């Protein structure tokens, strides 16, 4: 059987603290066909984050220069900092035959849905805003003001759920992961990107 597969651009969005990063690492660990698109950001690096692993941490000036050079597939200002997906990142991972995972906000997702309508988009929702706040507090990476800002923006983000093809509520982590995997497995078999050739013998 000869099979042709085209790569998938998987966009996941959801409020900060919902568990996107957690679900993304589970998917990347379990499914080697996926690679993470490392974004550029002007946000300061958190202690546990590594340059070129979690993000490319860049200055405002560098961000402006990349923007002028048309290097971003999408970009947005989120929680007072700028974030952008580098076209070069996505292109080089796709050239390696990998499916590419983007963890981006709703403004960025809107741009990707316009520019790459064949992408697969999944909104990850928290079970409640209270649970979201607890997760942000438990993660211990942001102070009270920043947490308040992220929870407030979460109310705005959930209004955009219908823009996405799929939604997953991350209440029980294993259930959410299994739902995300089901979406990915079904999309791998979509004839939009999977073309089996049926031979005579």
Site for ligand ADP in 17-46 (CB under 6 A): 17-22
- From the list 1-9, 12-20, 62-70, 111-119, the region that binds ligand ADP by CB under 6 A is 12-20
Q: Is residue 111 part of the contact set for ligand ADP (CB under 6 A)?
A: no
Report in angstroms how near the CB of residue 74 gets to ligand 5GP at its nearest: 6
Instruction: Output the six-digit token pair for 62.
Output: 């560098």
The pair phi, psi for residue 79, each rounded to 5°, is 50, 40
Give the number of other CB atoms < 10 A from CB of residue 119. 17
Strand 39-41, strand 81-86: pairing? antiparallel
Report in angstroms how near the CB of residue 37 gets to ligand 5GP at its nearest: 8
Decide: helix, strand or coil at residue 198.
coil
Q: Is residue 76 part of the contact set for ligand 5GP (CB under 6 A)?
A: yes
How far lies 8's CA from each of 33, 78, 111, in Å? 10, 25, 17
- From the list 60-68, 100-108, 126-134, 163-171, the region that binds ligand 5GP by CB under 6 A is 100-108
- Using the rule CB under 6 A, which residue among 43, 54, 87, 139 binds ligand ADP? 139
Return d(Cα 186, Cα 194) in angstroms, integer. 11
Q: Is residue 135 part of the contact set for ligand ADP (CB under 6 A)?
A: yes
Q: Is residue 100 part of the contact set for ligand 5GP (CB under 6 A)?
A: no
Overall size of the chain counted in residues: 201
**For binding to ligand ADP (CB under 6 A), which residues are involved?**
14, 16-22, 135, 138-139, 170, 173
């Amino acid at each position: 059987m000869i099979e042709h597969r085209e790569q998938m651009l998987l966009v996941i969005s959801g409020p900060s603290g919902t568990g996107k990063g957690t679900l993304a690492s589970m998917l990347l660990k379990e499914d080697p066909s996926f690679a993470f698109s490392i974004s550029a950001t002007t946000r300061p690096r958190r202690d546990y984050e590594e340059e070129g692993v979690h993000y490319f941490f860049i200055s405002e000036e560098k961000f402006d220069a990349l923007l002028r050079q048309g290097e971003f597939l999408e970009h947005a200002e989120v929680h007072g900092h700028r974030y952008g997906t580098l076209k070069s990142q996505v292109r080089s991972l796709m050239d390696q035959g990998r499916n590419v995972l983007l963890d981006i906000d709703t403004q960025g997702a809107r741009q990707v849905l316009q520019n790459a309508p064949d992408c697969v988009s999944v909104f990850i929702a928290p079970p409640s805003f209270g649970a979201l706040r607890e997760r942000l507090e438990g993660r211990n990476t942001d102070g009270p003001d920043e947490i308040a800002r992220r929870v407030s923006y979460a109310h705005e983000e959930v209004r955009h759920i219908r823009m996405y093809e799929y939604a997953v509520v991350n209440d029980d982590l294993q259930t959410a992961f299994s739902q995300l995997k089901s979406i990915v497995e079904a999309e791998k078999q979509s004839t939009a990107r999977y073309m089996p050739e049926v031979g005579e013998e």
